[in-house]
Amino acid sequence: MKLILPKIDSHNGRCDLNCRSEFEVPAFRLLNYKRHIEFLFVFSFLSFSSLVCGEAKREPVFMNYKTPNQAEIKSKLSDIQYRVTQLDETEPPFQNEYWNHHEVGIYVDIVTGEPLFLSKDKFDSGTGWPSFTRPIFEESIVEKKDTNWGMTRVEVRSKIANSHLGHVFDDGPRPTGLRYCINSAALRFIKKEDLAKYGYADLLPLVVK
């Protein structure tokens, strides 16, 4: 198969439109070019479709979250918030702020504001504590073995603030099969309409159903 291109003058580098050169291009190479173009088109279409029709990809949103010193934390938090996040205590079930909360938005760490959970991943576990199937970003949660109270459990803490959040169990619903049982006192809720106001606009595509 022949490919006809304008001839380039080797002395001055100019393109002579009146003089053309013919090159023999193997058919298999043109076929590869065609397949490459088709792949790029399909990939671009699928990427666009995933944003329009499906859930946006969850990638960490990096912000400058800073952990206050203990004096600042103690002055900022209520008594129950401090005892839960800093002393690893557990709030009473069915007597906390978010166990039966259904607004659309995100839940962030009460100390630093680092994003932790989405409202659409929250479900009614019947335990009396807010329960989620997964965190927004796996990188934002630190898991630790907990052998207190004669049990072996997996404690979950926020990565930056190191706040005690609760525990994760493997008796949750699909698609993860996990139940993140979290203390309301460790969380602050930001409703969807206020995400941009408080600096969480990048998370809006994840919140919108």
Give the active site residue among 15, 19, 53, 181: 181
User: What letters, b where the CB count within 10 A reaches 16 and e where it falls short, cover 157-169?
Assistant: bbbbbebbbbbbb
Annotation marks residue 181 as catalytic: yes
**Alpha-carbon distance 184 to 104, whole Å?**
16
What is the phi/psi pair of residue 24, to 5°? -85, 120
What is the phi/psi pair of residue 94, to 5°? 65, 5
Residues identified as active-site? 181
